[in-house]
Amino acid sequence: MGKDKRLTLKLDGTSPDELTMSRLGKYLSALSDLYGSVDAVHFKDVSEGSACLNTWVDNQASYDAVIQRSMTQAATSGSSYLKLVSLLAQDGFGAKLINQDKVTILDFPSINEEAPFVVRKKGKVQGKLYNVGGKDDSAPVKLEGANGETYHCEATPAMAAKLGALLFKQIRVSGDSEWIKKDGKWKLKKLIIESYEVLESSNLKTAFKALQNAPGNQWTEEDDTQAILKALRALNCE
C-alpha cells in the first residue's frame, strides 16, 4: 500500500555510478527536509535515467502534504528548497521533481556556482588579537577586524609565544597570504605571520593612510561616518 504514490528527484548531468555515497547522502538529507512528513516517506532506490532518486509515500494525506510543502518551499525560497538548490549549483546539475505519472511537480533552476578566485601574495591585516593557540608547528592566530570580521592567521610556535603576550591589543601582522574573491568580495582565507607590530595611538592622518592601504579594506568606497569612526577606533585612535 502506498507504493503507487511515488516521487522522483531526477538529477540531470550525472548517473548512479558517478554519484558517490557521500554526495547521495547529502541529496537524500536535503530531499527529506524538502518533503517533510519524515515518518511517511520512504527511500526506494536510485535508478538510471540521469540519476533518479526514487521515494514513495505510504498514505494519500502525507503524499498531498509532501507535494504541497515542496511547492510552497519553492515558491517562498524556503531554507530546505535553497539547500537542495545549493547542492545542485555546486555540482552543476539540473533537476526536476516528478510523480509516478512522469508529471513534473517542480523544475529546479540550473545554476553553475561560480568558483572562487584565489590570489596568493604578501599581505597584511590588522585588528584586535584575541586568540593564539595550538600544539602543532603551525599555531592558529585570530584577529578581529574593524567590522567584526575574523582574520585567520598562522604562526610558528616561537612567533605564537611572542604574540601571546599581546592578547587583546591592536596589532598589524604581515606575511604570505591567501585571499578569495567570491560574489564580488575579497576575504582572507589565511595569512602566515612573518612579522607584526603593535598599533599605538595614532593621529587621524596616519590612521586614514593605514586604512587605505589595508588589503581587503573597502575604505575608499566607504563614506558612512559611523563606519569610519568604528574603523578608526579599531586602529586605537584617539
**What is residue 229's predicted lDDT score, i.e. its pLDDT?**
54
Fold (topology level) of 6-108: Alpha-Beta Plaits (3.30.70)
The ranges of the chain annotated as CATH 3.30.70 are 6-108
Q: How far is CA 13 from the centre of its chain?
A: 24
pTM over cut 0.75:
no
Whether domain 117-234 has CATH 2.40.50.140: the reply is yes
**pLDDT band of 117, cuts 50, 70, 90:** confident
| Backbone phi, psi, residue 222, to 5° | -110, 125
The per-residue pLDDT for range 209-219, each reduced to its tens digit, is 666 666 555 55
Least confident of 95-109, 116-130, 144-158, 222-236: 222-236
**What is residue 217's predicted lDDT score, i.e. its pLDDT?**
57
The ranges of the chain annotated as CATH 2.40.50.140 are 117-234
pLDDT of 149 higher than 60: yes
**Distance (Å, rounded) from C-alpha 142 to C-alpha 149?**
10
**What is residue 186's predicted lDDT score, i.e. its pLDDT?**
86
